[in-house]
Amino acid sequence: MTTGLIPGAQPPEPRPDSGLPSQARRSPDDGTAQHTDNRPRSSVITARAAASFEPVGRSVASARSFVRDTLQGWGFADIVDDAVVLTSELVTNAVVHAGTSADVLCLRTEVGVRIEVADRYPEREIPLQGAAVNMGSPDREGGRGLQLCAALAGRWGVEYTPTHKQVWFQLELPERAVGTRSAGPSLPAELLPIADGRIRVAVVQIDRSGAISAWNEDAEELFGYPADQVTGKPLTDLAAWPHTPGTGTGVAEALQLSRWEGSYGIRDAAGRVVPVYASHLRVRDTGGDPSTVCLLVRDHERAVLQTPLRVNTSDSGGSGEGKNTDPFEVFIGSPAPDDLDGLLQRTVERARDMLDADSAFLLLATDDETELEVRASTGLPSARQRFARVPVEAGPGRYGSARMPAVHDDLTAVPGAVPLLNGTGMRSVVTVPLKVEGRLTGSLGVAAEAPGRYSNEEALRLQFAADRIALAVESARLGELERLRRGSLSFLVEASDLLAGTLDRDQTLALMAQMTVPTLATWCAVYTIADQASEPYLSYVLHEDEELIDGIKSLLSKIAPPDPVPTPGARVWTAPAEVAHQAALRTSMRSLGRGEPATVSSGIGTTLATAGAVGGETVVLPLVARNRVIGMLTLGKPTDEHFRQEILELAEDLSRRAALALDNARLYSERTAISQSLQRSLLPPELPTIDGVEVEVIYRAAGEGNEVGGDFYDVFPISDGAYGFAIGDVCGTGPNAAAVTGLARHALRLLAREGLSGPAVLERLNSAILDEGARSRFLTLLYGELRPQPDGSAELKVVCAGHPLPLRLRQDGTVEAAAEPQPLLGVLEDLELYEQTVTLDPGDVLLCVTDGVTERREGTRMLGDDGLADVLTTCTGLTAGAVAARIMRAVERFASDAPSDDMAILAMRVPGLHNA
């Protein structure tokens, strides 16, 4: 790293134009695009600091330290945290993701600071004017720099040149009175802290070995030692530790922390213990050598140094015994984050800083303590590692377990000892357990790129910190689990209601996918198995981005489906990620002209998008119903992402409910298909064509899923020139009535074709119905024979056995009954029936209906025979089809409720001479 500091520098010269055409320099006006500085730089730059960082992981930590030290030196402590966060993200993008060196420039003005981060990546695509800018997802490790700039900076922008890309942001100081950092209310003199007339602040500097290297005059006055007498001696020789009861942090540990405040005692030259309040700040010189600066005042004068957030402001300075310093706040800082992720992230950052490490990580244990799940990291590709799981017992030797502290001088000598660090370049590492009441709850570790960085001393320091935060972490974790479980219960209740609300197989498959994406996974695929002898079939694919669905479906169709293992729980399936990676690699090589030309290609963009979509963790959950695997639910994450254990447990609960719903839908579909097939066999296949007579039938069966009920009809040829027709109504509806329907229709055809007369046919059908015994049902039936005549008329012989009378519509619009009522079938054994002859003249219509038409009700009103006749009088001149349609329409409009009885309408019309 190279740095340069130029106090009082003049404003920089304007940067030369990049030479790009105007359309390459964007000036978007929407909130999601990159901001550009349209305001002239009128502020006077009073100082400048610059540094360059090599493309290595350690450079990110160095850049943070550079910006923090620079801004604190300038007195900009109020904006240090925001500046460090933004710089860390932008330098990470440059040295980690882009793989180039990074130049950081800090410019000080009277109103704030401007920081510029430039990388040397000329191949990066220059955005064109009007193109949408995708600043990435806030849940991803990479690409958050621009989003953070938009959220934290007052102004920010991106500038491109032919050789580099620069991102800049400007942070302004908060508005406050000149010369103040914080302010409190005016107080009466009697309420002000008590202090001696002459306040003395001892300034003591401690080198990296813990020895005193500087001792000012106030220190000599407070403690009685001249500087030459204490210089080179350890501060621990003078400190009476601890002075504050309950403080567990030792003086050596306190000196190693980046910042510390608290009370202890210093033995003066006379041997007395002087209670002091101390503020420690760890710094480093230009050569990188760390030291600690200690500011000390008498304990009752602590108000001079005390930070309001650390100690209760009501604490009086008159007592020699001050308030206890909370060791948890010493490590985490105050106020502590109130959410688990924030607490864990703050923990790893403080652990990294405490041991001057390159990276740190924290893992939480599963309930059974068999696995550890990565929950926070810094200095590592955390997006790749987040929610990754490693076994608690791992690696060789007694230090292979996460249940006890472990120090590794060089991971290259013990590969696999810390699986999380494989391939990260880290060599030395120290890990310590987090335990609550003797139970393992997690593991905290820090690592460095150089070997031999840590010893048992660092392990003890880290264990000390872990012991202080373990209870807080476990409490926050339990709170998060409780929220997740409440949310999971609500999710499962809603999912169960949705799945129970349908018996359609395709809709069930769609619901399964839509409930998992994006709530549980980024994409999912459902495989179904028809029977034990069948292979799994890819039935449904869904991704949160609809444009990627076809690519994933094509990819999965080329991969052998996962094995239908009935073992409960999620199991990892690596095939999709591996095949997608290989396909993307081949496509990339072909695009570079280094592979075999492809005969069919969907383009590198589609292939790479698919590879990224399925490149993360993929798990398979069996769909088991009635002790049989009926399919698999496959859930996937995009590249570098893992599932957290709680999500997998929720997905397992959902898969059990979904499997039962899917199997119920399958059984319902099978039974419905069988029922509909049998019902269709009870209806006549088609109506015959009768010369000189129009015939039309409309049939409606009552009940959901019924195609045939108790009403039936038939028109069939008997002999040359003669046709039989029938319309009947079996008592009741549904399958039982349909059984008698089938008997009646087939018996009529058989008996009529034997040459029997109409009365004889019905008498023998009556006997057949009575022979059914308990299954018999009474039947109303209108049966007749039709013979077209040479003069254009039609002769009908009709028997009406208990059925609504047929109506005859003449050309003049009059309506009359065409038969007389006779006894119904299925009640009496001895029937004496007779037939009546009716002649239909050209233009006449014969309308036959079942009682579902005439008994149509709306409240106390009923359509009845008279209502039907009134409708029929309006049908003069209509065809048979139009007559039947008008009757059905009138019946449907008569009442708003769905029909509760089967209905059949049979219309026959003899065309007039002009229609023949």
**DSSP H helix total and E strand total for the chain:** 20, 35
pLDDT score of 666: 82
pLDDT score of 144: 57
* Angle, helix 645-680 to helix 505-516, in steps of 10 degrees: 170
pLDDT score of 249: 52
Rounded to whole angstroms, how far apart are CA atoms 350 and 356?
10
pLDDT score of 458: 84
H or E stretch including 522?
A: none
Q: Which residue would you say has higher pLDDT here, 786 or 667?
A: 786
Segment among 20-24, 454-458, 772-776, 861-865 with least mean pLDDT: 20-24
C-alpha closest to that of 783 among 816, 807, 819 = 819
H or E stretch including 716?
A: strand 711-719
3-state helix, strand, coil in the chain (%, to 5): 35, 25, 40
Predicted confidence (pLDDT) at residue 280 exceeds the cutoff of 60: yes
pLDDT score of 817: 93
Average pLDDT over residues 224-230: 94
Average pLDDT over residues 493-518: 83
pLDDT score of 582: 80
Rounded to whole angstroms, how far apart are CA atoms 515 and 734?
37
pLDDT tier for residue 130 given thresholds of 50, 70 and 90: very low
Rounded to whole angstroms, how far apart are CA atoms 741 and 772?
13
305 contacts 279 by C-beta, under 8 angstroms: yes
Q: Which residue would you say has higher pLDDT here, 508 or 24?
A: 508
pLDDT tier for residue 783 given thresholds of 50, 70 and 90: very high
Q: Where are the beta strands (DSSP E) in 82-173?
A: 102-109, 112-119, 155-160, 165-172
For residue 425, the one-letter residue type is: G
* Angle, helix 456-500 to helix 505-516, in steps of 10 degrees: 150
pLDDT score of 653: 86
pLDDT in tens, 317-356: 333 344 444 455 556 655 556 678 888 888 888 888 888 8
Segment among 101-110, 190-199, 747-756 with least mean pLDDT: 190-199
Average pLDDT over residues 571-582: 84
Residue indicated by tokens 């290259």: 412
pLDDT score of 247: 41
pLDDT score of 314: 35
Rounded to whole angstroms, how far apart are CA atoms 313 and 309?
8
Cβ contacts of 874 within 8 Å, gap of 6 or more: 886
Predicted confidence (pLDDT) at residue 76 exceeds the cutoff of 60: yes
Query: Mean pLDDT highest for which of 165-174, 198-207, 416-425?
Result: 198-207
For residue 692, the one-letter residue type is: G
Mean pLDDT over the full length of the chain: 79
Rounded to whole angstroms, how far apart are CA atoms 899 and 884?
17
| Share above pLDDT 90 across residues of the chain, in percent, rounded to a whole number | 20
163 contacts 157 by C-beta, under 8 angstroms: no
Radius of gyration of the chain (CA): 44
For residue 684, the one-letter residue type is: P
Residue indicated by tokens 């007559």: 883
Distance linking the first and last C-alpha atoms of the chain? 104
762 contacts 803 by C-beta, under 8 angstroms: no
Predicted confidence (pLDDT) at residue 837 exceeds the cutoff of 70: yes
Average pLDDT over residues 772-791: 85
Query: Mean pLDDT highest for which of 192-196, 202-206, 599-603?
Result: 202-206
pLDDT score of 882: 94
pLDDT score of 588: 66
pLDDT score of 141: 45
Rounded to whole angstroms, how far apart are CA atoms 227 and 216?
7
Predicted confidence (pLDDT) at residue 815 exceeds the cutoff of 90: yes
Predicted confidence (pLDDT) at residue 614 exceeds the cutoff of 70: yes
Rounded to whole angstroms, how far apart are CA atoms 433 and 439?
10
Query: Mean pLDDT highest for which of 469-483, 774-788, 879-893?
Result: 879-893
Long-range contacts, 856-862 (Cβ 8 Å, 24+): 856/891, 856/894, 856/895, 856/899, 857/895, 858/894, 858/895, 858/896, 858/897, 861/894
Q: Which residue would you say has higher pLDDT here, 38 or 431?
A: 431
pLDDT score of 127: 47
Segment among 593-602, 653-662, 713-722, 830-839 with least mean pLDDT: 593-602
Residue indicated by tokens 């190693």: 256
C-alpha closest to that of 252 among 203, 210, 290, 296 = 210
Rounded to whole angstroms, how far apart are CA atoms 818 and 882?
21
pLDDT score of 699: 87
Predicted confidence (pLDDT) at residue 847 exceeds the cutoff of 70: yes
pLDDT tier for residue 109 given thresholds of 50, 70 and 90: confident
Number of Cβ within 10 Å of residue 428's Cβ equals 22
Q: Which residue would you say has higher pLDDT here, 444 or 340?
A: 444
Q: What is the edge-to-edge ordering of all strands in the sheet holding 212-215? A: 212-215, 202-206, 290-298, 273-284, 259-267, 239-240
Average pLDDT over residues 368-394: 72
256 contacts 301 by C-beta, under 8 angstroms: no
Kindly state the tokens that stand for 656.
């059990």
244 contacts 324 by C-beta, under 8 angstroms: yes
pLDDT score of 913: 57
Query: Mean pLDDT highest for which of 317-326, 393-402, 539-548, 701-710?
Result: 539-548
Predicted confidence (pLDDT) at residue 3 exceeds the cutoff of 60: no
| Share above pLDDT 70 across residues of the chain, in percent, rounded to a whole number | 80
Average pLDDT over residues 584-595: 65
pLDDT score of 558: 86
pLDDT score of 332: 63
Rounded to whole angstroms, how far apart are CA atoms 152 and 88?
13
pLDDT score of 328: 55
Rounded to whole angstroms, how far apart are CA atoms 59 and 613?
31
pLDDT score of 337: 65
Q: Which residue would you say has higher pLDDT here, 400 or 275?
A: 275
Cβ contacts of 266 within 8 Å, gap of 6 or more: 222, 223, 238, 239, 240, 273, 274, 276, 296
Average pLDDT over residues 152-175: 82
Cβ contacts of 551 within 8 Å, gap of 6 or more: 602, 606, 607, 609, 610, 613
291 contacts 213 by C-beta, under 8 angstroms: yes
Considering Cα of 757, then 759, then 764, then 766, what sign does the dihedral take? positive
Segment among 275-284, 331-340, 486-495, 871-880 with least mean pLDDT: 331-340
pLDDT score of 347: 87
Predicted confidence (pLDDT) at residue 808 exceeds the cutoff of 60: yes
Rounded to whole angstroms, how far apart are CA atoms 492 and 737?
42
Number of Cβ within 10 Å of residue 869's Cβ equals 17
pLDDT score of 592: 60
Q: pTM for this one?
A: 0.44
pLDDT score of 37: 45
Residue indicated by tokens 């059949």: 904
78 contacts 134 by C-beta, under 8 angstroms: no
Q: What is the edge-to-edge ordering of all strands in the sheet holding 523-528? A: 537-543, 523-528, 628-636, 618-625, 571-572
pLDDT score of 38: 44
